[in-house]
Structure formats: C-alpha cells, structure tokens
Structure 1
Amino acid sequence: MQLNFLGAMNRVTPSGILVDTGKTRFVLDYGADVEHMPPKPPMAVDKVDYILLSHGHLDHCGSLPMLVKKNGCPIISNACTKELTELLLLDSVKINMMEAGDIEEAKLPFDKQDVKVTVKKFVDFKYRKPLSFKNTEIIYYDAGHIPGSAMILMKIDGKTLLYDGNFNTIDTRLLAGCDQDLPKIDYLITESTYAQREHPDRKSQEKELVQLVNETISNDGVALISTFAIGRAQEILLILDSYGIDYPLYIDGMARKSTTIINKYKNLLKEPRSLDDALKKVTYVNGDGMRSKIIKRPCAIITTSGMLSGGTVVPYIQKLHADKNSSLILTGFQVPGTPGHTLLQTGRFVHENSDLEVEMFVKRFDMSAHAGRKEIFSFIKNINPEKVFCVHGDDTKGFAEELKGKGFDAVAPTVDNKIFNI
C-alpha cells in the first residue's frame, strides 16, 4: 500500500491522508485550516473511491465538499458525526460569506448546496463492525475524543494500519476513554497535538473552574464560559452539574444546536442520561434581547467560540468587559493570533472593530479532549507498531525523534517527504 500525506505535517491542521491499496483509494479525513481566508484545504488529490472520516471537527472535515464535488465519493462515518459535520460546514459557509464579501479569492470553493450534497454521501458505520472493500477490511473504534469520534483500522493484504485521528485515553465527564482493545497493529498514524505537553490534573481543573463560577455569582457577577461547541460545551455543562447547579445557567451560540444533536446519540455517552439530567437545569438563549436581559443578574453562560474569534461570546464581552465582578473563563488552548490568545497576553479583547480593555477576571483552564504526552506515549507503547507516522502537531519531527530514542521506527512526514510505500 502507499500512504500520501496531504496535510497536518509538522503542524496541527488540516488533516488529510491518501491510502492507496492498489485496488481502492481511500482518503482519511479532509479538513481545513480555518486560520486562512478562505480556510485552507489539504493538498489536492485526484481520484478518490471512499472518504473515511474520523470525526466532526473542521480541521478534519472542513474541506469535504471539495472532494465530493470532484469525485462524488461516499463518506464512511456515523450518524452523529454526519449531523455535527453538517452543522460545522454550514456555519463555515455562513461565516465565509460574511467575511469574504465581494472578494472572490477569499471565498470558499463550495456553498450551502454543496454541503447538502456532501451530507447525502454519508454512509453509516457501527463501532467494531467490519466493512469490506475489495482487498481491504475497515473497522472503526471509539476514539474517546468527541461524540462519534473514531480511530480507523485498515486491514490490507495481511497488514494492519491504524489512524487514531484525535483520541483521548482517559475518561471525561462526557465520554469514556478510547477503545484500546485492538488487534496487532503494523503501522500507526498518530496525532501529536500534546506530544510535548502534559495536561494538568483534571479534577483540580474542574474544582477550580466550579469555584470560580460560584465566586463570580456570589459577587453578583456573570460567569461567561467560552467553549468549543462540540464536546467541550457539553463537558463543561456536566462538570457544573456534577458539583450542583443552584444558579441560572444558560447555553448560547452554536452550543445550543450541537448539544441538541449530541443528546440524540445517548448511546455514545459515558452516562447515557447525563445530558438529559443536566439540561433540565439549563435555559437556551434566543436573541440579543434575551442576552441583554440575562446579564443584568448573576448567572453562568456557556457560549461559543472557544478562542473568542467569533460567535455569541463577542457581544457578551462587549457588554461585560468593564465589569470587575464578572469573569471570562476560557476552557482550552488559545492559538497564537486568536483574540483569546491576545487577551491572555495583553488584557485586551481585539476583534474586528473592537479593541477593549477587559476588566473581568480572566482565567484559562485545560479541559482538552486530546491525549496528553504521557497518554500518547503509553498508547503507542501498548500498541507496539512496526512503524509510526507522526502528524497533527506543532513539532512532529521532535516527537518522532523521541520515539526513535525509545526504540520505535518513527517518521514525521513533511511536504518534501510525504509519500511512503509500506
């Protein structure tokens, strides 16, 4: 078989890998780098027979309509990922239309109709149930990253290839850790997002977050919690619920739709009824009028986006930035260049026409859904593959060198060294 890496080489985005078995051509993920205008796809690829999608995050699914327009190929995924992907792609088109305006070169090469066509190409899979394609057998395993996420195992002519997509080995409030009951793996394509960083103790992070929310509300302030819509918003809700919610709690932005979607697939959650129970204590926010009204009283608001680069968190910050009794809680990594990162560095919220001094109490917590350094190394050690390909990280070269030092045959694909015959 031949592997052709199309993106996420010595960087986190955009994911895309062509696997040519000699009889069938598969693309594993086809994401987008949303830091570009328009969002940048992986390298182009000609004929594609099937797309194997690991999960519904834009850096893995954001350019799918481009492949479907060109090839009309089926997308092997599951129902939850299908709905989340549609939500994200439609939002991506909407945002691009607003930001690009009349600048043709800034426009996405697909529209809402293309997204609708793409969604119709989805073919459902079940975890652990083999799918056969000529000389290839494919099995999806739960990746523990977000609801519906999968590690993709390919058995090709007696050899096994595992693409772990994005994975997490530890249990969170929302999900159980990834399925590690795997067969012998010959080749592993692994994410390297946190290969150089450990996560802080999760329980301590949870307690500190809940304490800050409670203290803010006790001080008659608003606890504004900025999250990613998929996975993170629901995780934060379950954390708050586990410690007891005795204050007004609201969900706003894309987190409303994503929570509704995820709650339809209760079988994917660690505790199937957990979201149902927590949502009984939540009110969804509808419209600017309601936003202006709820912040007049102490409350907590879970809203998007996670790096303050858009979404409903923006008008909240514009209204609350001078309120010293309120807090702005970030729940994940802030990419350099984003408004969230700028805020942490300078104390100012800079977004489009806004440049505001933020007097709210600002704190970032690590609620990552990725395996940390220790977990990644342990995962690879347990699998013990013949060869490891390191992608989806800021220093995949350094990670590959570390793996070599531990006795593994490891490589970090680059633009100049991206095709491997194995």
Structure 2
Amino acid sequence: MDLSTLGRPLEGLRVIDLTRALAGPYATLLLAGLGAQVIKVEDPRGGDLARENSPYVGRDGIVVERKHDDDVSISHLTRGRGKHGVSLNLKAPEAAGIFADLVRSADIVVENFSAGTADRLGVGYEAAKAANPAIIYCSLSGFGADAPEGGKAMDVIIQALSGAMFASGDHDDPPVRIGVPIADMLAPVFSVIGILSALEQRHRTGVGQHIDVSMLGALTSFVAIENWSAMAAAGMGARTGLTVRRLSPFGVFECADGYVALVAVHEKMAQGLFRAMGAPELGEEPRFASRDARVANAHALEDRINAWSRTLPVAEVVRLLEAEGVPTAPVRHPEEALLDARVVAREETMPIAHPSYPSTVDLRTAGIPIRFSGATTGFDDVLPVSIGEHNADIYRDLLGYSDADIAALQAKGVM
C-alpha cells in the first residue's frame, strides 16, 4: 500500500490553540502531525513565549542572540510547525466574540493557562460550550483546573514536586533534574489521549466535554508506577543511579572510551554476560549463582563488571555481549541519537529549517512516533513566522470577516 496517497487520521478536524511555551504547544503539535488543522492564537503584543527562546536561526546561521527581525527561535520553529497563526488580544472587549466565532468553526480547543485564567479572559470552557456544545475543550495546567487560581508551574517545579528528582541518582546524591523537560512532554501526551477519547465519545453522544490534565498528576502517576513504600519497607534502595540494583545486573557501565548499557536480569542473560567477560565461573559462585543472590550482592557484581568493561572500548564490549545474546547498547549523545537511521527512516525525528535561510547544520527535531497501516502522519507546510501571519486566511476566508473589519480590529489592537 502506498501510504503517500493516504490521508492522516485527524484530517477534517479543526483545533483552536490558545497554548504557550511547551506543554500546550506540544499537544497541538501532535494533533497537527496527525492531520488536524491547528489555528494558533497569539497575543499581538509579543506572541508565544517560545519566540524568545535562544538559540535562533536566520541569515547569519545559528546564533545565541537575535540580531535580525526575521531570526526565528528554533523552539518556535519546532513547535509552530503545521500551524496557522492568528493574532488576538484576549484582554480586549471584542476578543470574546471573535473567540466564539473561532470555536463555532472548530472541534477542539486547547489551552494551558494557569487555573482560572481562561475563564477570567472569557475564553474558558463555559464560553466555548455556549458557542459550540459539541466542542472538545482541553485544559492543561500545572495542578489541574480545580486548583486555586494563579498557581504557575514550570517543568522543573513539577519535577521537584512529583518526586521524580529523588527517583534518579545514588542514595546520597543531591536531587537529579531529568535532562529532558519530562513534565512538559508527558502531560500533553495525556491531553491528546483525553482529546481522542472525548472525540470517540462524541461520536456516540454528539456532545462535547471538558478535559482537565495536570502536569503534576501526569508525572506523579509515572513516578507512582514503582511502589516506593514497599521497597522502603523491604529495605531495598529504591533510588537508582547508573544501575538498578534490585534487578542486577541492569544499567550503565563504564568502558575505556565511553559507556555501555546492558541488561542481564534473567539466568540465561547473566550466564551470557559472564561468558562475555571471560569468567563463566562467576555463574557457579554462590554470590552470583541465582537472581536473588545477584541482587543481594549487586555492589560486588557491579564492581566486577566495571573492572572488566573499563579495560575495553565500547564497540568491543557491545560486540562481546551481543555475541552472547545479552541486550546491550552504547550510550550515545543526543546529537548522534537523533540521526539513528532507524528513527530517521520512520520520521520519528525530522529536519527543520528557516523558511528563507538554509542552515549548514542538520537541525533535527521530534516527529510523530506512530505508524499506521492505513494512514500517514506529517505536518502541513505552514508556519506562523510572524505573529498573525495567517489572519487573512482565518478571519477573512474562514470566518468571513471583511478586510475593513480586520483593519479596524488591528487598528484598535485587538488583532
């Protein structure tokens, strides 16, 4: 089957995107990549916060500080893909009516203001529902739509509150911030799951609904997959650094020129590891002869593995382990990982570029990591480089506003 001739799963759906920064824009990016038309609404007085994120790309290549008006933040270049951009000052008296017109044309609204802000601006769920009872309205906030108004959250705040920072690292280490914005990325995935679930229910009922996702709840639910109190009661060290000792041998080990990850939890794998180490007799040693014994003596076992792996380059350790059927991989830097031929071929990472200035650097970012047998994914060739870039396409061509109406609203600072 030629997938290039197939449509994307969400084609025909329209999304009004009130989001800013990362969490909300990533949710609408996923919807855009799945085929929905996304209309990104930005304040005409500055637009999305991500527009000010360094580094930028433009006529001088990649720079830390913006030098030209048409330099574009790589964050915005990534998150704005496939979206039509309109400007609207939500604090203007006329904004509520314009928002209602947008909602009447749409299926989905996504916002990630702090709790209570959308309602105060007149663009909350009740206002959207009044304009379109079938609307699916998703609120993505730090602590939930029922949290006290004004509670602001950033990824590092949620990582701190969720316990995630004390899930990684050795026992006496300071807290460890996860290097990717995990809370900002996880909550939007749950938001999209909620949106798609609500769409399926709407197929049966014809009625829309409000979806409420909290960043804290999303990340804490992931932390909770491990039973921390049970491990503490059993005297097991729950916090994990380079290795997970309750699964030993499991984790990352040092080589002469880098690091390697390996998993030898089960008996067959453990025996393969010992053979790869040139020490099959370890499998007969009482400390390492069973899974429970290896866990009980994890420190000693890890010392033996590191003593072996540190004498060899990564490539040789991987070769020896693979020959014995032990799951293993080199530990790569992100730049290398994004160029893995497997993820490139599946478009799980994708190139991006300034629309006017080609870059000599392979700028690569997230794709849609889902494959369909009867559909395709991908982004429309559209990007709001400037704030309000597609005002005419949306306000005039879609909603029917006259050029005079648009000009008057722009003159008043509404658009």
* TM-score bucket of the superposed structures, by smaller chain: under 0.3
Give me the TM-score of the superposition, normalised by structure 2. 0.25
Return the structure number with greater helix share.
Answer: 2
